[in-house]
Amino acid sequence: MFLGRFWSSPGTKLFMDTGWQTIICRWGLHEIFPVVYCATEFQTVGREAATMEPRFILPQLCIVFTLSAFVIAAPADTLGPKVKRSDDTTLNSVQTLLQQQGAVIQRQESQLTLALNRLAALESLSHQQSLEISTLKNRLESTTRQVAFTVYFSADPIQDFGVHGILRFDHIVTNTANGYDAKTGIFTSPVSGLYVFHLDVMSVDNGLSVSINIIKNGVALDDAYASGGKRNDQGNSLVTIDLKAGEKVWTQHSYGSTSIRGSFLTVFSGFLIQAD
């Protein structure tokens, strides 16, 4: 029997003759595992070889295979330093770049949202200012616009215009803005504002007095009264009122005689003082 110790080398072959088969084992564990064995014969086959009895060599092979499996199954970081692959480095760089670009895009989106909000506020302000400008323009046009009229009857005297009848003055002296309608005897306000209306009425000498009202939208504001008798009498009325555009003013018989003097002896006038 031979008791020895050897270190395995690449390309080593062990031949075990069991009497019924030959086991050939080839491994590459170079100078890693010491093996203790017993052999009856030792001879070199190639670089190194040994022919041993199976009962001695088989346990040693089991040890070698077990240790080999341990080495193969061991984690990579226990066998040596971990080498960082270039692909991983590139991937990390791309991920970092994407994160940076995402942050930039997010900031730009926030700035865009802020700009859109400011634009909406400016548009709203512009619309409001446009409305104010339009209102001021209308006021300016109304202020500079002249509204006035003076009318009387072309005939004298005026006979029987009817109880509660509207006086339709047919002779127009002034009618700027065409507010007065001679066919109806009604003045329609072309613009809103403050107006003055004046009425002079002269009675005929038939012994009957007469009263003529100034009417706004069907409501009497004042009256001009002229007494009757053997001579003519003259009454007058003056009112200052606010009118909206489209509102109407006229003169209407209230009571008494239905005949009055005409021409410039009975006159109806009105004019705009200040537009709204």
Instruction: Please write the tens of the pLDDT for every residue from 75-128.
Output: 544 444 454 567 778 888 888 888 889 889 999 999 999 999 999 999 999 999
pLDDT at 69 over 60: no
Residue 28 C-beta-side C-alpha neighbours within 13 Å: 2
160 shares a domain with 259? yes
Mean pLDDT of the chain: 76
Q: Running DSSP on this structure, what letter comes out for residue 41?
A: B
263 shares a domain with 171? yes
pLDDT at 155 over 70: yes
Contacts of 74 (CB under 8 A, 6+ apart): none
pLDDT recorded at residue 243: 96
Task: Give a yes or no: residue 184 inside a domain.
Answer: yes
152 shares a domain with 189? yes
If you search the block for the tokens 């613009």, which residue do you land on? 191
CA distance 81 to 186: 110
If you search the block for the tokens 């046009």, which residue do you land on? 141
Q: What is the mean pLDDT of residues 194-205?
A: 95
R_g (Cα) of the chain, nearest Å:
63
pLDDT at 193 over 60: yes
CA distance 77 to 87: 19
CA angle 61, 9, 68 (to 5 degrees): 40
Residue 125 C-beta-side C-alpha neighbours within 13 Å: 6
Task: Give a yes or no: residue 65 inside a domain.
Answer: yes
Task: Give a yes or no: residue 87 inside a domain.
Answer: no
Task: Give a yes or no: residue 88 inside a domain.
Answer: no
pLDDT at 56 over 70: no
* 73 touches 46 (CB < 8 A): no
pLDDT at 55 over 90: no
pLDDT recorded at residue 8: 40
For the chain, the maximum distance between any two Cα atoms, rounded to a whole number of angstroms, is 181
139 shares a domain with 172? no
271 shares a domain with 154? yes
pLDDT recorded at residue 53: 43
CA distance 204 to 104: 96
pLDDT recorded at residue 207: 82
pTM (global) more than 0.85: no
CA distance 269 to 276: 21
Residue 236 C-beta-side C-alpha neighbours within 13 Å: 9
Of the candidate ranges 14-23, 66-75, 237-246, the one whose mean pLDDT is the lowest = 14-23
Please identify, among 33, 49, 76, the residue that sits at the C-terminal boundary of a domain.
76
178 shares a domain with 101? no
182 shares a domain with 135? no
153 shares a domain with 267? yes
Contacts of 178 (CB under 8 A, 6+ apart): 190
Please identify, among 41, 76, 111, the residue that sits at the C-terminal boundary of a domain.
76
Strands 13-17 and 49-52: parallel
243 shares a domain with 170? yes
**pLDDT tens per residue across span 238-262:** 999 999 999 999 999 999 999 999 9
Total domains, the chain: 3
* pLDDT band with cut points at 50, 70 and 90 for residue 16: very low
What torsion, rounded to 10 degrees, do the Cα atoms 123, 129, 130, 132 define? 150
pLDDT at 10 over 80: no
181 shares a domain with 103? no
Task: Give a yes or no: residue 214 inside a domain.
Answer: yes
Please identify, among 51, 76, 101, the residue that sits at the C-terminal boundary of a domain.
76
* pLDDT band with cut points at 50, 70 and 90 for residue 144: low
* 223 touches 214 (CB < 8 A): yes
Task: Give a yes or no: residue 186 inside a domain.
Answer: yes
Q: What is the mean pLDDT of residues 221-241?
A: 90
Q: What is the mean pLDDT of residues 197-210?
A: 92
Within its chain, how far is the Cα of 105 from the centroid? 22
User: Within a 10 A sphere around the Cβ of 61, how many other Cβ atoms?
Assistant: 17
51 shares a domain with 34? yes
Instruction: Specify the higher pLDDT residue, 2 or 211.
Output: 211
* pLDDT band with cut points at 50, 70 and 90 for residue 21: very low
pLDDT recorded at residue 23: 37
pLDDT recorded at residue 214: 97
249 shares a domain with 178? yes
* pLDDT band with cut points at 50, 70 and 90 for residue 230: confident
CATH number for position 178: 2.60.120.40
- Structural domain that includes position 211: 148-275
